[in-house]
């Protein structure tokens, strides 16, 4: 990609998080959206300042849940994620733990696996370039190495590099990123990243079951053409929509993920599928279906993150944790019996 | 349902076709259909019960390109050996240093190439190399017509793991899968730790065609895919008087060396 540093519009080629906008980025429609969204952001910022006034603590409540669903302002995002996920508490109860992990003995194989991916994490982000100062590759390496030695059962799984990368971009702090990664992998998500990836496989099947219930025509199409869910949605789960959906939308999803847990992923997936049902059903063959699933993650519907986030709580209808847990149980058993 | 059909039959009415998936072949698996045909999990393109082929009418791929035959090729090998780079080099003729991200899960791209006047569509599957993803990806092996197994000549471990990959392939892929071993990144002459002879020796041991490639310079990339396509095309529509296509010989004849030691 030719980086243009000539014109005055260079700043617009890189988004606020450091990601270069693609060549075909639709500036006009993005600006139209953003000018509207700016009003929302301003209103939310005022509300949040009041909520957090003086004391940087948050108690779980319906009001906080509502606030989070409407988006955490970027200046408070790291703090709120830390608090609602329990990462803050863990960090405070284990002072120095992160640094001890980095100073301790290392597993050479683990380091090798992480090194292989450091250069391959967000090459489209200027802050991750080796020419950047500071270059976030170092922080990324540290966070992944520390986590791999903290959670030896998981170690390092591809996909974690992207998640840790986002955490570093938002918190701008290695230690906080480590504890947030721990909250996600250790508590919020089922075992997506452990070597057997059973949690991932289970949730892909659970999504299949939910689609059967809520968007049966799409489930039938997948079945008819023998498309396994893992083929079209594995990255949705493993990367938590990074590089699938626009950055701002991903962050809004993560706001809810940290507060409400992993069922948010199903809400997002179901909304994407349901909203695009007619479009997906146009597919007449296997590659077509795969292609449709790529296309439904693009365009104004997902870029307009505020209305998208409203839709995920209405479109898929009711989705209780009890339903998900029950489905998880049956799907896991089925997978285990298949060996 | 798709009406996509395979093979424009040049050899007469037998319509030997190898379109994806083999399960769709009405008459099953002759030489024309090198794949097993159990109700495969991934069954692209053609309805499973797809009987008679509309011989003489090429198919239209989803990108709108016509083709006569379609095959599924998979790229496998350790994480970071250059699978995605090789695919992008072949598909788009490009290599952008430092622009690749690690592949998570599995993905595919199509490319149609012309082999002896026949349009062959390769559906090329790119997989995550990390070991734990294998339990996700090996479900796709059984539908693959060809596998390109890569190692990185600057990474000894990736070469040492080739045997493990071969074991995995034996277990999950079809017996008659077309297999080729590629030693990638030969442009990094300074960092090379696996000699070409080592690759050749291993390949010979397993009876697999071998070549060294560079996704960066493009060396032998086109050849690797073309050779695969030729082999698959010959298998699926062999004319009675046509001499047998010998993949090994073809590769030996066409392969280019990476530097001074071979022209």
Q: Which residues contact B237 (CB under 8 A, 6 or more apart)?
A: B7, B9, B10, B11, B16, B18, B32, B69, B118
CA–centroid distance for B55 within its chain? 25
Collapsed DSSP state (helix, strand, coil) of residue B72: strand
CB-based contact B62 A226, cutoff 8 Å = no
List Cα–Cα distances, A305 to A84, A243, A247, A268, A318, in angstroms: 21, 15, 10, 12, 21
Complete DSSP assignment for A146-176: HHHHHSTTT---TTHHHHHHHHHHHH--HHH
Q: Is B172 on the interface with A (CB under 8 A)?
A: no
Q: Which residues of chain B have pLDDT under 70?
A: 1-58, 60-64, 259-263
On whether the CB atoms of residues B228 and B122 are closer than 8 A, the answer is: yes
Q: Is B123 on the interface with A (CB under 8 A)?
A: yes
Chain A, 182-221: which have a CB under 8 Å from a chain B CB? 194-197, 200-201
What CATH class has A73-188?
mainly alpha
Give A52 to chain B, closest Cα distance, Å.
38
Res B7: pLDDT: 37
Local structure of residue A187 (DSSP, 8 states): I
CA–CA distance, A276 with A263 (Å, rounded to integer): 20
* In chain A, ranges of CATH 1.10.472.80 domains: 198-338
Q: Specify which residues A19 forms β-bridges with.
A: A125
CB-based contact A287 B45, cutoff 8 Å = yes
Instruction: Tell me the pairing of strands B69-77 and B146-152.
Output: parallel
Q: Is B139 on the interface with A (CB under 8 A)?
A: yes
User: Six-digit token pair at A201?
Assistant: 């496989």
Q: Specify which residues B184 forms β-bridges with.
A: B152
CA–CA distance, B96 with A85 (Å, rounded to integer): 39
Give B80 to chain A, closest Cα distance, Å.
6
Q: What is the pLDDT of residues B193-246, one digit of tens each?
A: 999 999 999 999 999 999 999 999 999 999 999 999 999 999 998 777 778 888
Q: Could you tell me the residue range of the domain that residue B110 belongs to?
A: 67-258
CA–CA distance, A52 with B34 (Å, rounded to integer): 66
- Cis ω for the linkage preceding A134 (within 30 of 0): yes
CA–CA distance, A306 with A302 (Å, rounded to integer): 9
Helices (H), B68-122: 83-92
CA B89-B163-B233 angle, 5° bins:
50
Give the one of A161, A226, A235 whose C-beta lies nearest to B43's C-beta.
A226
pLDDT along chain A (339 residues), means of 10: 48 89 90 95 96 83 97 97 97 98 97 96 95 96 98 98 98 98 97 95 97 98 95 96 97 98 98 98 94 96 98 97 97 92
Q: Is A124 on the interface with B (CB under 8 A)?
A: yes
Number of domains in chain B: 1
Give the one of B2, B102, B132 whose C-beta lies nearest to A285's C-beta.
B2
Res A277: pLDDT: 98
Collapsed DSSP state (helix, strand, coil) of residue A316: coil
Q: Is residue B162 part of a domain?
A: yes
Chain B, 11-70: which have a CB under 8 Å from a chain A CB? 20, 39-46, 48, 61-62
Give the one of A201, A226, A234 whose C-beta lies nearest to B40's C-beta.
A226
Which of A34, A159, A2 shows the shortest CA–CA distance to B130? Answer: A159
Q: Is residue B105 part of a domain?
A: yes
**Hey, of B124, B133, B155, which one would you mutate to test binding to chain A, going by the most A CBs within 10 A of its CB?**
B133
Give the one of A123, A195, A243 whose C-beta lies nearest to B99's C-beta.
A123
- Cis ω for the linkage preceding A279 (within 30 of 0): no
pTM of the model: 0.88
Q: What is the pLDDT of residues B100-121, one digit of tens each?
A: 899 998 889 999 999 999 999 9
* Radius of gyration of the CA atoms of chain B, in A: 18
Q: Is B100 on the interface with A (CB under 8 A)?
A: yes
Give B244 to chain A, closest Cα distance, Å.
32
Domain at B122, CATH number: 3.40.50.300
| Superfamily of the domain at A198-338 | Ypt/Rab-GAP domain of gyp1p, domain 3 (1.10.472.80)
CA–CA distance, B91 with A103 (Å, rounded to integer): 44
Give the one of B48, B80, B101 whose C-beta lies nearest to A123's C-beta.
B101
Q: Is residue B149 part of a domain?
A: yes
CB-based contact A119 B105, cutoff 8 Å = no
Q: Give the A:B interface size as CB pairs under 8 Å.
A: 102
Which chain A residues contact residue B44 at CB under 8 A?
225, 285-287
């Amino acid at each position: 990609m030719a980086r243009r540093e000539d014109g005055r519009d260079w700043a617009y080629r890189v988004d606020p998080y450091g990601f270069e906008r693609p060549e075909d980025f639709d500036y006009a429609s993005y600006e139209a959206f953003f000018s509207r969204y700016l009003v929302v952001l301003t209103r939310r910022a005022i509300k949040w300042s009041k909520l957090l006034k003086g004391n940087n603590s948050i108690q779980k409540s319906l009001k906080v849940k509502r606030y989070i669903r409407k988006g955490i302002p970027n200046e408070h995002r790291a703090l709120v994620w830390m608090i609602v996920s329990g990462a803050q508490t863990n960090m405070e109860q284990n002072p120095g733990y992160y640094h001890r992990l980095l100073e301790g003995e290392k597993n050479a194989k683990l380091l090798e696996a992480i090194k292989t991916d450091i250069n391959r994490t967000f090459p489209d982000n200027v802050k991750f370039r080796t020419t950047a100062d500071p270059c976030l590759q170092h922080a990324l390496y540290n966070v992944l190495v520390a986590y791999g030695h903290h959670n030896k059962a998981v170690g390092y799984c591809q996909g974690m590099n992207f998640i840790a990368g986002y955490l570093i971009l938002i918190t701008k702090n290695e230690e906080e990123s480590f504890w947030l990664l721990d909250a996600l992998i250790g508590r919020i998500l089922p075992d997506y990243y452990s070597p057997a990836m059973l949690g991932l496989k289970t949730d892909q099947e659970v999504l299949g079951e939910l689609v059967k219930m809520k968007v049966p025509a799409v489930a039938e199409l997948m079945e008819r053409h023998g498309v396994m869910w893992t083929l079209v949605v594995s990255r949705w789960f493993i990367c938590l929509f990074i590089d699938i959906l626009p950055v701002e939308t991903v962050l809004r999803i993560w706001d809810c993920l940290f507060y409400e847990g992993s069922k948010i992923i199903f809400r997002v997936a179901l909304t994407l599928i349901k909203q695009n049902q007619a479009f997906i059903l146009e597919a007449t063959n296997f590659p077509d279906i795969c292609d449709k699933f790529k296309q439904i993650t693009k365009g104004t519907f997902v870029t307009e993150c505020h209305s998208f986030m409203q839709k995920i709580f209405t479109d898929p209808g009711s989705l209780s944790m009890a339903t998900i847990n029950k489905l998880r149980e049956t799907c896991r058993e089925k997978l285990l019996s298949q060996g | 349902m798709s009406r996509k059909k395979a093979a424009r039959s040049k050899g007469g009415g037998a319509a030997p076709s190898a379109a994806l998936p083999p399960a769709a072949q009405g008459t099953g698996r002759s030489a024309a259909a090198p794949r097993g045909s159990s109700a495969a999990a991934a069954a692209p393109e053609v309805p499973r019960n797809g009987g008679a082929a509309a011989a003489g009418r090429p198919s239209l791929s989803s990108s709108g390109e016509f083709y006569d035959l379609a095959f599924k090729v998979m790229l496998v090998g350790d994480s970071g050996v250059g699978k995605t780079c090789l695919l992008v080099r072949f598909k788009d003729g490009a290599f952008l240093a430092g622009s690749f991200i690690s592949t998570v899960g599995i993905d595919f791209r199509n490319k149609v190439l012309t082999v002896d006047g026949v349009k062959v569509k390769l559906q090329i599957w790119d997989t995550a190399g990390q070991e734990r993803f294998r339990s996700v990806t090996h479900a796709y092996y059984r539908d693959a017509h060809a596998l390109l197994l890569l190692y990185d000549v600057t990474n000894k471990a990736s070469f040492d793991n080739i045997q493990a990959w071969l074991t995995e392939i034996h277990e999950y892929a079809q017996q008659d899968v077309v297999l080729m071993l590629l030693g990638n990144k030969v442009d990094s002459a300074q960092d090379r730790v696996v000699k070409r002879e080592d690759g050749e020796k291993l390949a010979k041991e397993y009876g697999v065609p071998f070549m060294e490639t560079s996704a960066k310079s493009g060396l032998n990339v086109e050849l690797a895919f073309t050779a695969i396509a030729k082999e698959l095309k010959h298998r699926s529509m062999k004319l009675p008087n046509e001499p047998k296509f010998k993949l090994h010989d073809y590769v030996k004849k066409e392969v280019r060396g990476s530097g001074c030691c071979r022209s």
